[in-house]
Amino acid sequence: MKQKKLFTGGISRCLLNAATLAFLSILFTLFLLPRTGFAFVEVMSGSMEPGISAGDIVLIHTHEERIREGDVISFQKGGVQMLHRVIEKNGEGFRTKGDANREPDAFFVRREEIRGVCIAAFPQGQRIFAFLRSPAFLILGLLLLILQGASVEAEAPAEKGRDHPYIILPRKRRKT
């Protein structure tokens, strides 16, 4: 009895594999990347415009030891998370300033208040992250995984080891 295949074309199978890989990569990025010394920070104000705007997401390196003038740092000051550029470094700490601000911050940032150094910015990343954290994204991912499993099941050969695309068995020799 011939089995029906769920996905008949190579292109649809390739697209399904790519979508599944993308889903798993996004899960890795969202849940495992922060455990490796990196974190995502949501930008809440326009103090770093025009380069970094409210609604952007920045990727910070949390284990950066060398902080230099010109680096954009994420820090916690008085219960508020901020993202500003280092303009001066001295014995008291780091003087910072938002690129859109006229005056530097009135305080120095101590090393223990620093969360990390900005290494990348994703414009309007908050919209994307809101979707990636939503139940709709997880449902979509689960459907992809179910389809992936169904397509593998549909490709399973009727007879174990025969006509399987990944297993090559020697043919039986005919007796003459």
pLDDT of residue 155: 55
Mean pLDDT of 105-118: 93
Write down the pTM of the prediction.
Answer: 0.64
- Contact between 155 and 165 (Cβ < 8 Å): yes
Chain mean pLDDT for the chain: 80
Token pair recorded at residue 76: 């916690």
- Asked whether residue 162 carries a pLDDT value surpassing 60, the answer given is no
Confidence of residue 140 (pLDDT cuts 50, 70, 90): confident
Mean pLDDT of 51-56: 91
DSSP 127: H
For the chain, percent helix, then strand, then coil, each to nearest 5?
A: 35, 25, 45
Token pair recorded at residue 15: 């697209």
Read off the amino acid at residue 46. G
